[in-house]
């Protein structure tokens, strides 16, 4: 039995990456429509000054690696001064750099270095909430009648919170001030939500956008883009906090996805349109993909991230539905899909897909699928090394999710452990081996080190680099149209563009699958693939790219 869905997509030692390459801009279409964007969790990528914390100097030193790898852009998680309550997502000053990471001149130098290597820089911006140490919130605490108090959600003193809203990090979404008022925080108490009905908030964020765009950045990833506005009357949500597998739905009708939020993105789009070649990509965690796609209408955000693959089980129906539904939903608004398989909030792909050799094989196959699909692809730092989820001892964990849940939820530290660059005791993360990384790095991670994988032609790193190189040259990969079909445990995505066609075939079953082949095998995700004149024998948990004759 087979199912078929046809949808249109939118248009240490000598280092091998130690030379610069000229910038090569894609002129045929906006770069972001088919870009491969590499997500840098700044604190964990590379430490330049030896304090155990990743920083902008460390990232600058590793830019040639990203150029060698073959990505188009890098998105940097928040670099702003922060209260430290949520990995930088509690911002104190949006137009500055946390001294742990450097200063504004380091961002400017990073952008310049990246441009010389043909890379673009995308920053993270956090408009839903600030830090409780932000000057506005401090002024609001000091004086309930201050103008700053109107920039947050406060409720008068009472015995109970104003409504039943829940924090995503656990517990009520309301906390008391010293004078007995309640304030809203849909995340940690140290992250008070802004009131976007106050025009000063919108005006200030537009100044922030221009501040960084004037320094040459190519756009922004917008945190919690489906948030910002809340029900003006603060009415109860109709259900308990219980997001579905794929995101928030009607049970959160008063806290997320308010109609007014789309006006914010229209204003932000107008700002970006003043700066050619820039983009906005939103984090939109909603269960309804049609609603997610609306954020990418032509006058709003350029993209909104599609998390279906990130949250799908390793099975053909789930993956086929995730791909087909995203292509359909985004196609209806004329936007490309922004595909995601890993990020700083979710368990690492290898572990999510079963762990060990099985999880690694599946992660390799999934990477080939990701890089074949029409649209842009977001690659989380370390996924190109096949990193598993790290075990972080409870006493070393820093994620507020772990602490606010009393340890019931593991938190996100395991996917944020620093990158292993070489096989030394400090894995090359810091210039000084004696430096203690901000999160402990497992001793066994030496085998995943970049220095080892660059010397191994069969490594996950080489698979990514080869796939990225083919994608960059082949018109059918990353753009054009896609046809999604399944037959048993075999998933096929037929990608067509520029008069050429490539089939990405993934065997998600437990036995070898015989796949019809009338063309050239471009790439295999793992060993054991056997090719004859008319067929390809594809082992379990393996993918292949076949260019049709």
Which residues are the active-site residues? 223, 274
The answer to whether 130 and 92 have CB atoms below 8 angstroms apart is: yes
Closest CA to 351 of 382, 317, 395, 308: 382
Burial tier of 170 (Cβ tally within 10 Å: 0-12, 13-18, 19+): middle
For 511, phi then psi, to 5°, come to -125, 165
> H-helix or E-strand containing 451?
helix 450-453
31 three-state secondary structure: helix
- Can you name the residues that pair with 122 across neighbouring β-strands? 75
> H-helix or E-strand containing 531?
strand 530-531
CA pseudo-torsion sign 154, 398, 344, 63: positive
Residue pointed to by tokens 């690694």 = 360
Distance of CA 191 to the CA centre of its chain: 21
For 524, phi then psi, to 5°, come to -125, 145
- Can you name the residues that pair with 434 across neighbouring β-strands? none
Provide the H-helix boundaries in 148-287: 199-213, 261-273
Give me 58's structure tokens: 């460390």
Provide the H-helix boundaries in 274-417: 289-294, 316-332, 349-352, 356-372, 400-404
Report the distance separating Cα 478 and Cα 374, nearest Å: 4
- Can you name the residues that pair with 39 across neighbouring β-strands? 75, 380
Report the distance separating Cα 104 and Cα 10, nearest Å: 36
Closest CA to 228 of 151, 289, 327: 151
Strands 490-497 and 481-487: antiparallel
Closest CA to 227 of 182, 265, 172, 273: 265
DSSP conformation class of 442: P
Strands 481-487 and 2-7: antiparallel
Report the distance separating Cα 339 and Cα 341, nearest Å: 7
Closest CA to 328 of 482, 471, 498: 482
Provide the H-helix boundaries in 117-248: 135-142, 199-213
């Amino acid at each position: 039995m087979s199912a078929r869905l046809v949808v249109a997509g939118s248009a240490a030692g000598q280092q091998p990456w130690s030379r610069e390459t000229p910038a090569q801009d894609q002129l045929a279409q906006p770069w972001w429509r088919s870009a491969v964007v590499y997500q840098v969790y700044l604190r964990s990528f590379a430490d330049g000054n030896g304090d155990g914390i990743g920083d902008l100097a460390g990232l600058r030193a590793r830019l040639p690696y990203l150029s060698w790898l073959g990505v188009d852009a890098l998105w940097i998680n928040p670099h702003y001064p922060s209260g430290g309550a949520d990995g930088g997502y509690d911002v104190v000053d949006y137009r500055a750099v946390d001294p742990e990471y450097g200063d504004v001149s380091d961002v400017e130098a990073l952008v310049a270095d990246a441009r010389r290597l043909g890379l673009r820089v995308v920053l993270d911006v956090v408009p839903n909430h600030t830090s409780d140490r932000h000057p506005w919130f401090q002024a609001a605490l000091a004086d309930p009648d201050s103008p700053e108090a109107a920039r947050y959600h406060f409720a008068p003193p009472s015995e109970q919170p104003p409504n039943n809203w829940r924090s995503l990090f656990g517990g009520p979404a309301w906390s008391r001030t010293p004078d007995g008022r309640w304030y809203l925080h849909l995340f940690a108490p140290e992250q008070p939500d802004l009131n976007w009905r106050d025009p000063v908030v919108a005006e200030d964020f537009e100044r922030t956008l221009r501040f960084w765009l004037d320094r040459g950045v190519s756009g922004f990833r917008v945190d919690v883009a489906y948030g910002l506005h809340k029900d003006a009357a603060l009415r109860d949500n109709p259900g308990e906090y219980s997001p579905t597998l794929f995101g928030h739905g009607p049970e959160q009708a008063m806290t997320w996805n308010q109609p007014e939020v789309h006006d914010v993105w229209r204003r932000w789009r107008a700002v970006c349109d003043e700066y050619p070649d820039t983009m906005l990509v939103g984090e939109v965690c909603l269960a309804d993909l049609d609603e997610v796609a609306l954020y990418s209408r032509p006058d709003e955000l350029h993209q909104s991230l599609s998390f279906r693959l990130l949250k799908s089980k390793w099975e053909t129906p789930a993956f086929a539905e995730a791909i087909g539904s995203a292509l359909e939903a985004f196609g209806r608004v004329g936007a490309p899909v922004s595909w995601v398989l890993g990020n700083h909030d979710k368990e690492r792909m290898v572990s999510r897909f079963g762990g060990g050799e099985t999880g690694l094989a599946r992660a390799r196959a999934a990477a080939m699928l990701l890089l074949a699909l029409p649209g842009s692809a977001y690659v989380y730092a370390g996924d190109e090394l096949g990193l598993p989820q790290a075990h972080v001892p409870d006493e070393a964990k820093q994620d507020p999710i772990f602490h606010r849940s009393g340890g019931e939820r593991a938190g996100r530290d395991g996917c944020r452990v620093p990158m292993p660059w070489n096989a030394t005791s400090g894995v090359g993360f810091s210039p000084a081996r004696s430096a203690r990384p901000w999160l402990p790095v497992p001793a066994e991670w030496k085998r995943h080190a970049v220095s080892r994988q660059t010397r191994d032609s069969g490594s996950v790193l080489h698979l990514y680099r080869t796939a990225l190189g083919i994608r960059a040259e082949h018109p059918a990969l990353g753009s054009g149209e896609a046809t999604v079909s399944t037959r048993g445990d075999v998933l096929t995505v037929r990608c067509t563009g520029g008069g050429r066609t490539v089939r990405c075939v993934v065997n998600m079953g437990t036995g070898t699958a015989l796949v019809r082949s009338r063309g050239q095998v471009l790439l295999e995700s793992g060993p054991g693939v056997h090719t004859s004149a008319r067929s390809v024998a594809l082992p379990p948990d393996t993918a292949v790219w076949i260019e049709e004759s």
